[in-house]
Amino acid sequence: MKTLREVKPGETVTVTKLTGSGATKRRIMDMGLTKGVSVYVRKVAPLGDPVEVTIRGYELSLRKEDAQMVEVS
């Protein structure tokens, strides 16, 4: 299964599932990363982590470690 972590900058993907649980998962979903939403990966921070994505019309940054919880297609 491909996760958001592996998506290259410049690509747009759709969220299919969220793994994990608890606070981090809730936080990711609260910020709008829910099933079916389209995510555009804008860039990776200069030091390689975190990543910046565009969802629901705004910029969100999240760590690769957390991006791994977002399955995409």
Minimum distance, C-beta of residue 6 to another protein, in the bound complex (Å): 18
Q: Would you count residue 66 as binding another protein (CB under 8 A)?
A: yes
The residue from 3, 32, 68, 71 that contacts another protein (CB under 8 A) is 32
Token pair recorded at residue 64: 């690769």
Q: Would you count residue 29 as binding another protein (CB under 8 A)?
A: yes
If 0-12 CB within 10 Å is exposed, 13-18 middle and 19+ buried, where does residue 67 land?
Answer: buried
Q: Would you count residue 6 as binding another protein (CB under 8 A)?
A: no
What gap in Å lies between CA 9 and CA 29, rounded to an integer? 21
What gap in Å lies between CA 31 and CA 65, rounded to an integer? 16
| Binding residues vs another protein (CB under 8 A) | 18, 21-32, 34-37, 43-50, 52, 56-63, 66
